[in-house]
Amino acid sequence: MITATIDPAREADLRELIASMNQQPGMADPHNPLIPFFQFTQLHFARLVILEANTNDDIRDYGVEPSAWPPTLSFVGDVDGPRNLFLAELVVRAGDGLRRIFSHCQGFEAESDNLLDWLKTHDVKPKANYVNWRGRTVVQIREEQALGEALRHQLAKESDSAGDGDAQALYGRLKAFVDEEVASLRLRLTPPAPTPPGLLIANFVHLVGVPLILLALSPLFLIAAPFYALRLRRLEESDPENIPRPTLDHVAELAQQEDYLETNQFNVFGQVKPGRFRNYTIRFLLWIVDYTARHIYNRGFLTRIQTINFARWVLIDNNRRVYFASNYDGSLDSYMDDFINKVGWGLNLVFSNGVGYPRTRWLIKGGAKFEGKYKRTLRRNQLPSATWYKGCPGINAIEMARNTRIRKGLEKSNPSLRDMQKWLSLL
């Protein structure tokens, strides 16, 4: 995520410039000349968002004077492969556009500064990062989507009776069809690139290392736990909630860029509750979230939620503010209700450390369960994206997973009759 403070005198110009990239409010034209997103074959999602502290004054309820937060431009991308490689490609393909965009920010001299260096120095790493399916690349998604489409078309050409009887024959015909399409380059099924050994080792060290560290520290945790619990409960009892309704205009501005595609973008930007207790708590919990997302929830689901494509939690402004960005399937209503009913506890863990959040008990209870308060807090702290791009439009995470299963079913050697029948029912 690249962030840069916007020059206050040029904010209106910047908004206008970014709006020129859109074909709909908040929806990027993939071919826009400033950042031609379609050229990036590793880019799942991208957005530009202006981080504004709309709810900055909420922290006054805690007896704390709000710190100034000038509007800040943030570029968020979810990419395959190393981030530096993406930044380099970004400079090559969209250098001029980015220079124009960032020239509205403080401290950027479009003529003199080296763009790549500038991007790297303004790159902020998220504290936690969730990817629906680690290792599934844009190229793979598109190829498998084409495979699924081709198979459905071919199936429609099969006579009506097909499939009623001989599963084996039908499987054979469809497999032969795909082989033929691949051989004649009408379909492409690139084998997945092997994970570099360095990354494998790093992953393993992380996988084992984190529990080891926690284990080593566990005596300390045990000693600290009663004190922690006491303090937590005292804060949970006394922390003010801040739950006025969002204004109709604010909600309308957010809604105008939702529900065009099967996937929507989501930004919330708020403040971490004052004091070291909350600050350490949220940092520790995000560390855990990041660990589980990397090693456990990397195959299509984040606890019971299967609709998040990408999500990231970023702490900025000296860990005083938290920015959460996600790309989720469905409309916000179902996203919010899903969260309340399925993972209210998980949401509470992290966001109850944010200013204004509905009252929790023991970090996981209550909170989001206060439906009305929760939905209001969420909308109030939500921000629109200035522009947003989806690299694989038309399909959601569930369909991507199904397309992968379709491909796997074809690549299986010596499938049994049951395998073939299962595969056919995927189509």
Nearer to another protein, 60 or 299 (CB): 299
Q: Which of 41, 107, 252, 416 binds another protein (CB under 8 A)?
A: 252
Q: How far is the CB of 23 from another protein (least distance, A)?
A: 10
Site string for another protein, 392-421 (x = CB under 8 A): -xxxx-xx-xx--x------------x--x
Rounded Cα distance, 28 and 35, in Å: 9
> If binding means CB under 8 A, how many residues of this protein chain bind another protein?
59
Q: How far is the CB of 158 from another protein (least distance, A)?
A: 8
75 interacts with another protein by CB under 8 A: no
Nearer to another protein, 141 or 305 (CB): 305
Nearer to another protein, 107 or 372 (CB): 372
Nearer to another protein, 80 or 338 (CB): 338
Q: How far is the CB of 35 from another protein (least distance, A)?
A: 19
Nearer to another protein, 77 or 344 (CB): 344
Q: Which of 61, 117, 337, 411 binds another protein (CB under 8 A)?
A: 337
Report the site for another protein in 283-302 (rule: CB under 8 A): 297, 300-302
Q: Which residues bind another protein (CB under 8 A)?
A: 24, 27, 152, 155-156, 163-164, 167, 170, 245, 248, 251-252, 255-256, 258-262, 297, 300-307, 329-331, 333-334, 337-338, 340-342, 345, 369-372, 393-396, 398-399, 401-402, 405, 418, 421-422, 424-425, 427
